[in-house]
Amino acid sequence: MAGVRTLEEIFIHAPHAFSVTVFGAEPRGNYDRIMLSPVLAGEKRFADIVTHDRPWYEKKGIELIAGEPVVSIDRTARTVTGAHGTTRPYDVLLIAIGSNPVIIPVPGHDLPGVIAFRDIADVETMLAAAQAGQGDAVVIGGGLLGLEAANGLHRNGMKTTVLHLMPTLMERQLDPVSATMLKSDLEARGLTMITGANTKAIHGTDRVEAVELTDGTVIPASLVVMAVGIRPNTALAKDAGLDCGRGIKVDDGMRTSDPAIYAVGECVEHRGTLFGLVAPLWDMAQVAADRIAGVAETDYIPAVSGTRLKVTGIDMFSVGDFSGEDAIVYCDPARGVHKRLVVRDDRLIGAVLYGDACHSGWYFGLIQDGSDISSLRDALVFGPPVEGQDAIPELVEAL
Ligand SMILES: Cc1cc2nc3c(=O)[nH]c(=O)nc-3n(C[C@H](O)[C@H](O)[C@H](O)COP(=O)(O)OP(=O)(O)OC[C@H]3O[C@@H](n4cnc5c(N)ncnc54)[C@H](O)[C@@H]3O)c2cc1C
């Protein structure tokens, strides 16, 4: 997603400056990866999420070498070579190879039927498993990806269990109260959620048959989806001698330790930070494009990113640091609504909204702009003030 976004930005400024070749490991053009969850849930078709198909590449005059991952970079000769032996020269190289799903190395992790959730091939495997009537799915990981996978598998008729190591779901995005509400909502739909679940082994002869936890619980499984995190894809860059930490190290201009090579997206490490959401990638793409096209010496400035769970009917939003003690909390358990707004030095620094996220954009803006919220504090939890009216008297009147 980040690579082609960079190309689009370059084409805006310098449509004819480069002869472009794109190598892609996947055997097709591009699609919106974040929409894989709605495809799995049956709410969208793959065709709906394609963003750059082969005709787009042809129209732009780009050579697309799809289905052939780059396996080596020769920085002296300035060439890259793909897995099938295709070699292309470069003046400027952009690495945008994303990240790899973490697979927990428990016994049985390599059995057929144990997969990750990263690309359309994984979605196809999940849909095929559901259609084959292989009824029990186990998802390891109760974060954003795991829950979206579980929801999709459940909607496709699989009996689905989520195993989550931590005591509460989505602990990186939700406080314990909203996480508990989320768990209840998912259970009410028919999913089984086990928190504090430590996977010991995956069992099966020719393919996966069950998952065993350290407490001895055994859960039948004809499909296991591991959604326990991602790791930046650095092998190619490391082999080429580029400076890598946990990701491919880039400076503020998205340049690697080789000035002819840029990197954007989840594969990078910028000032010690790794990335897992698309919003920062668009900013990186802009910076890399400005510099590659030579239009501006733009710098990448990290910004906050918000998260939503793409499970239809569940309204949640999380942004920033929501763990602070100066918190304004609104909770209506009967309606399944919980809001936690965290303030520091009269600035909103984090928000968790569960069950009612209609003002998420406003809170996000306040955090992003660092606005002084002292005059809004009394009614902050009810959303933006209605023009010409005071939100609190209005509410009291309504009661
Ligand atoms: C199911 C799912 C749901 C998500 N939902 C959200 C969401 O709601 N909100 C959000 O902000 N983010 C979401 N994300 C994360 C988001 O999709 C990623 O942040 C984004 O796709 C990263 O973009 P990228 O360009 O860095 O990597 P990718 O989109 O992964 O693109 C990298 C590409 O490089 C290819 N590649 C790898 N190695 C090589 C090689 N050696 N040579 C050539 N090509 C190679 C890969 O096959 C891949 O096609 C979701 C991710 C998934 C999987």
337-343: average pLDDT? 97
396 against 329, higher pLDDT: 329
Pocket of ligand 1 (CB under 6 A): 1-3, 23-26, 33-34, 36-37, 69-70, 96-98, 117-118, 145, 233, 236, 265-267, 276-279, 281, 310
Residue nearest to atom 15 of ligand 1 (CA): 277
Q: Partners of 306 in the beta sheet?
A: 319
Alpha helices for the chain (secondary structure H): 2-13, 36-40, 46-49, 54-60, 120-131, 144-155, 176-188, 235-239, 278-293, 360-369, 391-398
Q: How confident is the model at residue 134 (pLDDT cuts 50, 70, 90)?
A: low
pLDDT of residue 398: 42
Q: Tell me if 248 sits within 8 A of 234, measured CB to CB.
A: yes
**For 114-228, which CATH superfamily applies?**
FAD/NAD(P)-binding domain (3.50.50.60)
C-alpha to C-alpha distance for 272 and 294, rounded to whole angstroms: 26
Could you identify the atom of ligand 1 that is nearest to the CA of residue 276? 19
What local confidence, expressed as pLDDT, does residue 273 receive?
97
| Contact of 155 with 42, CB cutoff 8 Å | yes
**How far does the centroid of ligand 1 lie from the alpha carbon of residue 49, in Å?**
14
Task: Give the confidence band of 208 by pLDDT, cuts at 50, 70, 90.
Answer: very high
DSSP string, 194-215: EES--EEEEEESSSEEEEEETT
Q: Give me the pLDDT at residue 393, please.
A: 46
Return the bridge partners of 250, or none. 270
Residue among 278, 283, 311 whose CB has most ligand 1 atoms within 8 A, to mutate: 278
94 Cβ partners below 8 Å, 6+ apart?
3, 6, 261, 262, 263, 264, 288, 292
Mutate to test the pocket of ligand 1, among 95, 97, 127, 228 (most ligand atoms within 8 A of CB): 97
**Within 10 A of 219 (CB to CB), how many other CB atoms are there?**
19
Domain ranges of the chain: 2-99+231-293, 114-228, 315-398
Q: Give 238-267 pLDDT, tens digit per residue.
A: 999 999 999 999 999 999 999 999 999 999
Distance 1 CA to ligand 1 centre (A): 6
Q: Which of 44-53, 77-86, 219-228, 379-388 has the lowest mean pLDDT?
A: 379-388
CATH topology of domain 315-398: Enolase-like; domain 1 (3.30.390)
Mean pLDDT of the chain: 95
Please give the average per-residue pLDDT across 233-237, as a whole number: 98
Q: What are the tokens at 381? A: 């939890």
pLDDT higher than threshold 50 for residue 394:
no
Specify the ligand 1 atom closest to the Cα of 118.
53
Residue 399 pLDDT class (50, 70, 90 cuts): very low
Enumerate long-range contacts of 197-200, CB under 8 Å, 24 or more apart: 197/163, 197/164, 197/165, 198/165, 199/104, 199/106, 199/140, 199/163, 200/106
Closest CA to 34 of 8, 5, 1, 69: 1
Q: Which residue is it, tokens 């591991």?
A: 226
Index of the ligand 1 atom closest to the CA of residue 265: 26
Mean pLDDT of 22-47: 97
Contact 141, 164 (CB under 8 A): yes
CB proximity list for 393: less than 8 A, separation 6 or greater: none
CATH for 2-99+231-293, among 3.50.50.60, 3.40.50.800, 2.40.50.140, 3.40.50.10600? 3.50.50.60
Residue nearest to atom 51 of ligand 1 (CA): 34
The confidence score (pLDDT) of residue 74 equals 98
pLDDT tens per residue across span 267-302: 999 999 999 999 999 999 999 999 999 999 999 999
How many CA atoms are closer than 13 Å to the CA of 320, on its beta-carbon side?
Answer: 25
Residue 281: which of 50, 22, 4, 37 has the closest Cα? 4
- Are 2-99+231-293 and 114-228 in the same CATH fold? yes
Integer Cα distance of 292 and 103 in angstroms: 35
Confidence tier at 133 by pLDDT (50, 70, 90): low
**Phi, psi of 126, rounded to the nearest 5 degrees:** -65, -45
Mean pLDDT of 144-149: 97
DSSP string, 340-355: EEEEETTEEEEEEEES
Ligand 1, atom 31: closest residue by C-alpha: 98
Entry field: residues in the chain: 399
Q: What is the pTM of this model?
A: 0.94
